[in-house]
Structure 1
């Protein structure tokens, strides 16, 4: 095969080898994208407008929602275009945010009397800024060396988005440097945050088990359940995508898990944090009452 490094676009194969399911996937992705847009936007608005949600936890949740909006908007419209027609041409920050949220839950349960002192607004802003900066740096460091690789002339990416691993596999030259760089980044961005999350929840479990009241234990675990669900969905899909064996069956399976990672997780996050959260549901009801009263005042005038 001939090599070329000049920009000429890439062909995203996606699910083109399963044309019978592309239209079904289109409808599923479209509905998930709509839920992602509405749900995450609602969480951000409630976190801003409702004073009872002006807490570190909901500050981090609103950051996570904004990240999901950015991520899905950057890839889902192209995915929808590829699924609908025959033409197939053309998130690290979340890991850090999930670790920060685990630390927030650890302080809330293990150090409840010192929570307001430890997780103060300035620290919350700093932790969120660190998460965004690390994600940006990871992209800035990894993307240029990947795009400078000489790619095979067919430029066919056997995936539905042009992520770094897929582009590295497309290169016809030695990619050892890029693979080592990606491995180091994976440890720093995926493994380290996951380790911090597990350590935090290990301490949380120990603290909860020391609570004598069954009601108290249930309430403490309920405080963490939403975050644990999000962490489970996120890391299970990421691990499946990035640690899959190199064979055609695993590649096809990885695409579906990758689709869930790109579309399903951002849609599930707001559902988990709203349907399972009394505070968010209460804020939503208060917002509806304010809107209804405003409409009644306009009608009387």
Structure 2
């Protein structure tokens, strides 16, 4: 039986904006992540996937719900236990230009976590930094340089080295390849997979590049306007997408065969994403859904297991056991 490392239960993160209006960035999201796996989290920009990651790691305080790490609610951790928690979970940020302090050398950037937790000192500290640089494909000579002396891909490697410095169990990768050239993206993803095998890491991989997410993820969750629409194993989701939103996302992935690309059916969504300040009633996707029914505007769809291990929030699959669509 697989061990649950992280469990997110009915998580909500709301922000007050404007004149007392509430922006529902994450609105009642639930999922689990098992030790040693990679869970991909995808969706359009503004769907709440990055906010979910930041709330898990306590960069944001949850409005409602729970985040359980090894059975402990992370938003109720206090005192000395916070340091212990921070060692276990690290984050790779989206922008390798903004996430590195321009006034610090690479050695000090990578070793900052080690200094806070008192892990290495003196020559041992320097030796550990050199080991981490070589682990991520850089050299020890890079330790004395500053971030502006590196390319985007190299900076992201420095960010990965910084995350590894305190020997974490779980890493949240918040769109770690979106700011990189395509040729560099594959290198960073392959590096992350290699490190996962060598260090037994667990990943939450947040991205909007569906083809890359399929390559790295064991399971994939699809978010839209703050809610989770679908969750399944990677191959299952790509072979049997159930939610109309997932089907639209997958149909947008180019096929590297001109004849197939020209003849295949595309799902084109109409309209813009509604405002998270004033989301639609019932199903938040109904205003753009080609399969929308009357019930979609009245009742929020429940989270249900439509196929073994394949979960979806859609009224098309209500009453599956009684002959509903599957």
Give the TM-score category using the shorter length.
Answer: under 0.3
Which has the larger share of helix? Answer: 1
Which has the larger share of strand? Answer: 2
TM-score under structure 2 length normalisation: 0.21
TM-score under structure 1 length normalisation: 0.22
